[in-house]
Structure 1
Amino acid sequence: MLEKIGLLGALVFAMPVLAQLAPGVRMPPEIGAAYGRLGKAMMAHDAAGVRTVWADNFVVNSPNNTVIGREDVIAIMDQDFLDYRDFRKHITFVGEKPEVTVIMGYDTMIPLKGPGAGKQVTRPFTDVRAKRGAGWQLIARQATIAEAK
């Protein structure tokens, strides 16, 4: 599992800190609330809370070009590798369709461990959410570390 440390930059979502919407972008309230619940669960290393927001078949394409599933990400979280400070989410696009919603933007943060530790990292992302019985669950995510300053 430690060989997957390179994906750390791809996994943290809306921490309960600063989130900004670009002008004219509207976040559906149910999805915004899900981002908030996910951020709190990730910060608390609450696997059960994460599972309520991520679909069973959730996948992420990480910065090291490895595609992993929900339980792999939770295992990394449980190993205490997903800690950040000064996390900010910038949402530039929300595309709503009846069956999926696509959210795009970029995150800025300072990872405490792993790639870019101690440096500000910029990470563009694309999230895909699908309407499921439990609400709008995250089914796929792509995130790439663009730069570390």
Structure 2
Amino acid sequence: MITLRKLFSVIGGIIISANILAQSKSEMEIRKLEQAETDAILKGDTVTLFQKLWAPEFIVNNPANLVVTRQEVAGLLRAGKIDYESFERVIEKISIVENTAIVMGREEIQPKGKTDNAGKIVIRRFTNIWVKRNGMWKAVGRQATISAIN
């Protein structure tokens, strides 16, 4: 015979498992979007950034200590001021709170061309913020700080 205590324990376990699965699904989505963003930046693909990844109000507190809009970031991409030989993002933590995902970690880039620190390896700490609206995740904010240049 099942006691109320056992029943509540089973129901609680189901609820916890459902929350973990939902978070895992969202985390997987965010990881894919983070990689898509990295790929688009490497290719200078502003169409993907604007249409699929970045919200209209997307802002960045960039490594040059400037707060810029997505239009300004696109201008920097077109001008060759954001141009990388390589770009690796290592996600250390994704925290999902309701419809907001906060992603934190480190990045290793190798700038080229007209980009500051061209030819060097630049290590940055980053935070990206994604919001889910109408079933779709969009990046709304980003902060990146240089922690080392080799």
- SS of corresponding position for 1:34: helix
Unaligned runs of 5+ in 2: 1-23
- Structure ranking higher on relative contact order (CA contacts 8 Å, 6+ apart): 1
**Equivalence for 2:7:** none
Q: How far apart, in 2, do the equivalents of 1:92 and 1:40 lie?
A: 19
Report how far residue 41 of structure 1 moved: 2.4
**Equivalence for 1:114:** 115
Structure 1 residue ranges, 4+ long, deviating more than 3 angstroms after superposition: none
Aligned-partner residue type, residue 49 of structure 1: T
Report how far residue 74 of structure 1 moved: 0.7
Larger CA deviation: 94-103 vs 79-88: 79-88
Larger helix share, 1 or 2: 2
Q: How far apart, in 2, do the equivalents of 1:119 and 1:53 lie?
A: 28
Task: Please give the TM-score of this superposition, normalised by the length of structure 2.
Answer: 0.75
Unaligned runs of 5+ in 1: 1-24
| CA 1:108–1:129: 2 relative to 1, 3 Å | same
RMSD after superposition: 2.0
Q: How far apart, in 2, do the equivalents of 1:88 and 1:43 lie?
A: 10
Report how far residue 45 of structure 1 moved: 2.1
1:78 matches 2:72: no
Q: How much identity, in percent, do the aligned residues show?
A: 30
* Preserved CA contact (<8 Å) 2:38 2:87: no
Q: How far apart, in 1, do the equivalents of 2:147 and 2:25 lie?
A: 25
Task: Please give the TM-score of this superposition, normalised by the length of structure 1.
Answer: 0.75
